[in-house]
Each structure stands twice: as structure tokens, then as C-alpha cells.
Amino acid sequence: MGGFIRVAHRGSSGSYPENSRIALEKAIEAGVDMIEVDCQLSKDGHVVVIHDERLQRTARAKGYVRGQTLKQLKKLDVGAWFKKAFKGERILTMEEVVEIVDGKADLNVDIKAVKQGSPGIELKILFILSHYGYFDRSILSSFDYRALRRVRELAPEAQIGILHGAETKENPFQVAREIGAYSLHIQKELATSPLLERAAQLGLKTFVWTVNEVPEMEKFLALGVDGIISDFPEKFWKIRQRKR
């Protein structure tokens, strides 16, 4: 397989409700190297795993994640929106995620750039990862470069991933140098040969998202990326042997 890093995007989110217990379990079954999850803070300061600021799409509820306590969030169903068969899936805490993964895969923890969000999420994530012995097995990434700067201040040894997409305002390479980033996580439309070469020159690992078709996976592997982030991790095993 050429040794590339197989990353499940929000778990096995193409076939199961994103960031849910079953999506994580199915990603592990698919044999991934790493699982990407999205983190925000609840109203009462718990690190919860959900992508959107608003609860409408995946919980079919009104309001914002930051406006609900953990007890309130735990009452919401985040499975039925995807398919009735998954009714009853609940929003996970970061602690629950680490317990589910349980050493079977590494983690890519995406700190969501939430406007008016409560401060302190970086310290809480670092504490949880350290408590469970997962600090060295995790990459912390975000579009919010301020959050990544805070991570670096708090944890000089943390592996930090710079997210780079079409809406990125700052120069990702400049930020990567500034904070000593480990990796660059690139929107697939931006993952050109010159950009990948520049990242390699700076010693950055490169991950491309979100790549869901096998021919496209093979294309990016031929360009020399280190990892692929996909909603369908089961497709990784359909990739032909890389040619050198």
C-alpha cells in the first residue's frame, strides 16, 4: 500500500452518521490509521464531538452547540437524520471518543472555529488527550490559526496540523513556520504539485481532504501526499499498489 496514512473523516461518515459511535467503530473495522473528529465546547464547558455550530443539520434541533449543556446535548439524536436505522446515536464527549478508539487508531482532533465560542477548549483537549495517554497519538488541527497558536503556547511538543482551504486568509506556510507545525491538511482542489513540493521542502507532512473516489486517491498518492482523508475509509483497500 506504499505506507500512506489512511484517515477516516468524522469516522466512516460516508456510510454512517458523522462523528458518532458507530462511525468510529466502523472506521476502526476498516483498518484506518487515524480518525478525524470535530470538537466544540458545550455551554457548561465539556468538549463535545460535533461539526456544525448549529444543531439543525445533524440533531434536528434549534440553537447552537455552545448554548446547550452536556445534559441537554446528550438528549439529542444524531443518527436518525442520516438514516432511521441509526436512530438513538448520541453526541459524544472527547473522553468517550478516546475510550471508543482505545488505541486502535490515532486521532486528528479538529478544533472548530466557532464565533463567540467559550475560551479554553485547547487546554481541555490537551488535558483529555494527556490523561488518556493519547497526546503523542494525536494531531490537533484547525482553520482557526489563533487556536493553533494557543495550542503551541500550551504544549510545545504537540503535533499541529494547519488546515488549508479555499477560505483560508493567512498564508499557511508562514503560520506553519511560526508555530512549528507537523502537517498541512489541504482541500483537494488546492493540492497541486507546487504546493505539495513546498510543504515537503518545509518538512511538513501532507494530508488531502476529502477524497472519496479510488482513482482520485491514486492520483494524490502519485503526487506524493502522506495521507488521505476520506468519508469512505473502506475504499482505501481498493487502491492499487503505489508505483515508485
Residues with active-site annotation: 9, 51
Burial class, 76, CB count within 10 angstroms (exposed 0-12 / middle 13-18 / buried 19+): middle
Reported as half-sphere exposure (CB side, CA atoms, 13 A), residue 175 has a value of 24
Reported as half-sphere exposure (CB side, CA atoms, 13 A), residue 238 has a value of 10
Give the integer Cα–Cα distance in Å for 10 and 185: 15
Burial class, 79, CB count within 10 angstroms (exposed 0-12 / middle 13-18 / buried 19+): buried
